[in-house]
Amino acid sequence: MERSQLQAVKDTATDFGKGFVQTAVENPWNGVAQLLNEIPGVKVKELHSATPSGKVSFAEELGAKAGSIGELIAVTLATKYGAKSVFKLGAAAEKRAVVQTSTFGLAGAINGGMFTPSEDHDHLLTSRIKQGAIQGGTFASMSIASAALGGGFDGALVKRMSVNAAGGAVGGATHALLTEGLMHHRLASADQVASDAATYAAFGAAFTGIHFAVGKALRVPEAGPVKEEYPSQIKEMLTPFKRLSNEPILGPREGKFDSAGAFNPTATRLPDGDVAILYRAQDAKGVSTVGLARTAPDGVTVLERSDEPVLAPRVDNERLGIEDPRMTADPVNPAQWDLTATKWDGHNAQLSDWTSTDLREWHERGIMMPANEGTWNTQWTKSGSIVSREVDGKFVPEKIDGKFWMFYMGSRAGVDEMGLASSVDGRNWSDATNEPILPARPGQFDSNVVEPGPTAILTDNGINLIYSGGMPYEGGKGMFKYQAGVAVFDKNDPTNLLYRSDKPIFSPETSWEKENSSTTVHQVPNVVFPQGIVPDGHGGYIVYYGAADSYVGAATTRFAPVNRFDWLNGLTDSGQQSVLRSPALANPEIQDDKKKTAN
């Protein structure tokens, strides 16, 4: 080859290299596209943001925005699903808001850092970093706003699109402020903020619709992965509940102290094997008292029911009711019963304590957790669940590290969350933490209410706590749907949460769990609210629950090894219930024992 020809090749290669480097730094996608387009027969389209200059028609401007939104959607879908693999936290629901914000922030940073045209050609790397920061902040703020509004990617499509459009508007305003601040060192004008808010609101709605369609097409579960991760410390856990009856076992009685409702029960096994149920009764004026019923050993056949309440308001701070009892043996004197319940005077709800030797005459010990005085719970206190061990069919509080422990519900800023208290003597209780032990989780079944259920069961493998979660729902008119979840804590340290269910283990299904019995007093529909638990005599438990603030229902559960839960959680709800009808199916080791016996 002659020297002149060689020089020409070198010049051509040098020019291409310079151009490629320049393009790659300005827009890495286009750099790759330019390189691939040098291959004969290959044509990769370069990406260019639609940024019309000069006077343009409305149609042209609309088309430009639509093209920009389309480009954002395409790249965001790719980076979102790619980013999820970077964050290994996706299966933990309590971290979902952080994960979602992180993945969308990363998606935005990739959009900005790689695919947004640079404005400052003299400092391309600086411009790349700025664009990444702008889009990362934009997308993260969108995610935070959507989560704060109770949205995201769960629920009805129309609701998702509306909430994410609102989140997009917040992100758009953030985009305008960051762009003008970082790129031009000035404040964004109101027109710029409004324009970007409108563009990103449209992006939020459009992205939600396309995300939904992609998820359906790929059969991606919208609520997260089926298989859950269980910490190695957890060996067993309570199974999802199965109803013992398709009808309530207790309900309101006309003309009596429970004429409006009989619900939210607690229970204990009696020495003769019968079950005593204490329940919240509501009269025609909406005042709550505590009634008493007795069932046969099966836990559902009602043999006796009191004609008068066994516990009723006597002093001013409970004048509108004593609500939601929970019962164990007395931590001070295990020979008698202890009852935690809530005093209500129309202004404050306060968790209080009573004791009894016969379940009929109750003596007040005092307020356990005063309202408006907690470390974090600056409003009401309710629902005390004392950590107890099953002893001869009865739940007896047991000290851990020299203290009794109790989960309870506290309120702050209008949100009800779960706290943890401790007591050395079983009489005087105080907060054990400076923050809720189980906080509310935006967008989840416990987004607005996290309330303890029956006594927390202490075993050699941990502390199992059934709890109720409240969340808004379509048509709820400001009220919440209540479903049951489960949490597991370290048996040696109740402040150490090991596991919290990602989805409910029990939900309202029957008409009497969804509809109130009264139209004259305040009651909440769509509620299952477990408060009582007793051994069933067959290795499992009967769980008593309130339904729609009106009735008492009964269900069963048992401890099962967590390695049985992966396949169980993969079934539909009806499939789970079918499996749980057979303890041997839910616990295959029972089958193994039977085979060994037969052999």
pTM assigned to the model? 0.63
Q: How far is the C-alpha of 131 from the C-alpha of 124, rounded, in Å?
A: 10
Q: Exposed, middle or buried by CB within 10 Å (0-12, 13-18, 19+), for 87?
A: middle
8-state DSSP, 8: H
Q: Per the structure block, which two tokens stand in for 367?
A: 């307020």
**Count of alpha carbons within 13 angstroms of residue 344, beta-carbon side:** 18
Residue 48 identity: H
- For the CA atoms of 19, 23, 26, 31, what is the dihedral angle to 10 degrees? -150
Largest CA distance in the chain: 114
Q: Which residues contact residue 452 at a Cβ distance below 8 angstroms, ignoring those fewer than 6 apart?
A: 326, 383, 384, 385, 407, 408, 409, 418, 465, 467, 468
Phi then psi for residue 134, to 5 deg, are: -65, -50
- What does the pLDDT profile of the chain (599 residues) look like in tens digits? 454 555 555 555 555 554 544 444 445 556 566 666 767 777 766 655 444 444 555 555 555 556 555 655 665 666 555 555 444 433 333 345 565 666 666 766 766 655 555 555 445 566 667 777 877 777 778 778 777 775 555 556 677 788 878 888 888 888 888 888 887 788 889 888 888 888 888 877 877 776 666 555 544 444 443 456 677 788 888 999 999 999 999 999 999 999 999 999 999 999 999 999 999 999 999 999 999 999 999 999 999 999 999 999 999 999 999 999 999 999 999 999 999 999 999 999 999 999 999 999 999 999 999 999 988 988 999 999 999 999 988 999 999 999 999 999 999 888 999 999 999 999 999 999 999 999 999 989 999 999 999 999 999 999 999 999 999 887 666 789 999 999 999 999 999 999 999 899 999 999 999 998 888 888 899 999 999 999 999 999 999 999 999 999 999 999 988 765 544 444 444 444 444 434 444 444 434 443 343 43
User: End-to-end distance of the chain based on CA atoms, in angstroms?
Assistant: 90
Q: How far is CA 308 from CA 314, 350, 356, 451, in A?
A: 15, 24, 17, 28
